[in-house]
Structure 1
Amino acid sequence: MKLWDADLRDIVRRWRKRPPVVLELRRDGYCLVRVHHGEAELILAEDIDPLSSRYRELLLESLRHSVQSHGLAGSLAATYLFREDYNLQVVDAPKVPAAEMLAALRWQLADLLDFPVQEAVLDAIPVPDTEGRQIFAVAVRASVVQERIDLLRGVGLQPFYVGIIDLALRDLCWLLPEEAGG
């Protein structure tokens, strides 16, 4: 799920100067990974007691420290939502021009969500082998996406992507160079 339309050339140019960082937020801590020279490099995996009354504070404190101590301040960062934070459904693709897809999806999903569709950020992903007849419709509360953006910014990172865990492996592979042999 793309946050905004960024200039891809600008992002690639910035990646050459400073590799992107991926934050995997877990219920019991987090993991930071950097994609550097074609390899995913584990920077840090940190556990935080999920039952602590100070969990959020401890998470932010630890993340800020990790970003600073590993020289990551200002790095572009991606993160992925928890599975329970979004709704993913296979639906028939609306028969509309691509530019109108998300507006048509908004109407199609209105009765299927457990929150008002006006509060949703939507995305559509083609279902393989259906020749465009079906799509994966993704809906998440805008406030959940904004919370992740605020978290990344609050620890000194520059958010460029908030995705869904169902597509994490695919998305991370896009950051790696293509092998000559496939």
Structure 2
Amino acid sequence: MVGTCVSVCPEPDGVAVASVKRDQTGRAVLQQAAFHSCSSPEDCRHYLEQTVRKEHLQHSLCVAVLPADSYQLMQVDATEIPEAERRDAVRWQISERLDYPAENAVIDLFEIAPFGGERKPVLYAVSAQKNILRDQIKMSGESNLELTSIDIPEFSLRNICELFTEDDRGLAILLLLERSGVLVIVRDGTLYLVRWFSTGMDDLLALAEGDDELLTEQLDTVVLEIQRSFDYCESNFQLPLVSRLLVAQTQREIPAVVSYLNDYLGTTVEAFSFEHILDVPETSQQLQLNRCLFAIGGALRRENI
């Protein structure tokens, strides 16, 4: 794919917008990425329209990334059902797990095949309400963008992982947002695991300014969850431990977070950085880019574009 792709990621308190340009060789360059605090959907739409005009992005292809609280991702059991009938079967299967009528759900499916062994693939369903998707379509259209795909944050981070080609055993990214965190484990383009954490930057910043013992206790919890995730991938997908875990912090760099995880996990832990991986604007700061990782990952998407 040659040209520019714009990604829009609305969030409860604002919107992140990123654009990536690819040349004839497929080399990607991040043109811009920014998060804008918004008080209403109209404010977010106005900011997107301004950005499109300012950056001359009219008629660019667009990937919308759903807010983390606007969809459900769940494991389902339909691998023995013919592919043509799977969506209807899954809609019936998950109907009681939805908090809205199943007929209002848009469902997509994807499989995760074990890395080794003879186990069957695991099937997952993503479900979102039709009106939420309509809002994404409307926002993109009113901003003079050509929407091609609607994605979820987990796959945006997978796209980020694919930039790190030197990690031949795969990669994990821990993104620490304001009030939550998310861990993804990816190898050879396959997203093997997603785990959301209740721990976010607000928790860690408050502890970093005070009692080191309390910070250690909080990080012990994070270490435990990450180790459980690694163990799950090994036991369920026969996936060897990844080459590295990259930690993306978003409000302030707390060096103790990276050093503590590196001391107590069995893989190398480093601060996330695009250096030598992706060309970014000269004035960009890594913390600001981390805040826009979902949007940047969306703009890096290659499928269906």
How far is the alpha carbon of 1:94 from its aligned partner? 4.5
How big is each residue's C-alpha offset from its partner over 1:11-54, in whole Å with a ceiling of 9 and x where there is no partner?
xxxx42x3222222232332222142322404141422x4x4xx
Of 162, 176, 180, 2:150 maps to 162
How far is the alpha carbon of 1:173 from its aligned partner? 6.6
Query: Structure 1 residues 70, 41: CA separation in 2 closer, same or farther (over 3 Å shift)?
Result: same
Maintained 8 Å contact 2:76/2:124: yes
Of 88, 99, 104, 2:73 maps to 88
Question: Given the two structures, how large is their TM-score scaled by the length of structure 2?
Answer: 0.47
Question: Per the alignment, in what secondary structure is the counterpart of residue 87 of structure 2?
Answer: helix
> Which protein, 1 or 2, shows the higher relative CO under an 8 Å CA cutoff with sep ≥ 6?
1
Q: Equivalent residue for 2:50?
A: 65
Query: Structure 1 residues 156, 118: CA separation in 2 closer, same or farther (over 3 Å shift)?
Result: same
Q: Equivalent residue for 1:45?
A: 34
Superposition map of 1:1-182 within 5 A: 15-16=1-2, 18-26=3-11, 27-37=13-23, 38-48=27-37, 50=38, 52=39, 55-129=40-114, 130-132=119-121, 134-171=122-159
Superposition RMSD in Å? 2.4
How big is each residue's C-alpha offset from its partner over 1:33-81, in whole Å with a ceiling of 9 and x where there is no partner?
2142322404141422x4x4xx333222221111012111111100111
| CA distance in structure 2 between the aligned counterparts of 1:66 and 1:22, rounded to whole angstroms | 12
Question: Per the alignment, in what secondary structure is the counterpart of residue 150 of structure 1?
Answer: helix
Which range moved further: 91-100 or 164-173? Answer: 164-173
| CA distance in structure 2 between the aligned counterparts of 1:75 and 1:172, rounded to whole angstroms | 21
Question: Per the alignment, in what secondary structure is the counterpart of residue 43 of structure 1?
Answer: strand
- Counterpart AA for 1:61: H
- Extract unaligned runs of 5+ from structure 2: 169-187, 189-305
Question: Given the two structures, how large is their TM-score scaled by the length of structure 1?
Answer: 0.76
How far is the alpha carbon of 1:169 from its aligned partner? 2.3
User: Runs of 4+ in structure 1 displaced over 6 angstroms?
Assistant: none
- Counterpart AA for 2:19: V
| CA distance in structure 2 between the aligned counterparts of 1:128 and 1:40, rounded to whole angstroms | 31
How big is each residue's C-alpha offset from its partner over 1:139-177, in whole Å with a ceiling of 9 and x where there is no partner?
110111111111111111010000111221234677x7x
Query: Structure 1 residues 73, 96: CA separation in 2 closer, same or farther (over 3 Å shift)?
Result: same
- Counterpart AA for 1:34: V
Maintained 8 Å contact 1:102/1:123: yes
In our comparison, the structure showing a higher alpha carbon Rg is 2
Question: Per the alignment, in what secondary structure is the counterpart of residue 85 of structure 2?
Answer: helix
| CA distance in structure 1 between the aligned counterparts of 2:5 and 2:93, rounded to whole angstroms | 35
| CA distance in structure 2 between the aligned counterparts of 1:109 and 1:159, rounded to whole angstroms | 28
Query: Structure 1 residues 172, 23: CA separation in 2 closer, same or farther (over 3 Å shift)?
Result: farther
| CA distance in structure 1 between the aligned counterparts of 2:65 and 2:160, rounded to whole angstroms | 11
- Extract unaligned runs of 5+ from structure 1: 1-14
Query: Structure 1 residues 63, 127: CA separation in 2 closer, same or farther (over 3 Å shift)?
Result: same
- Counterpart AA for 1:36: R
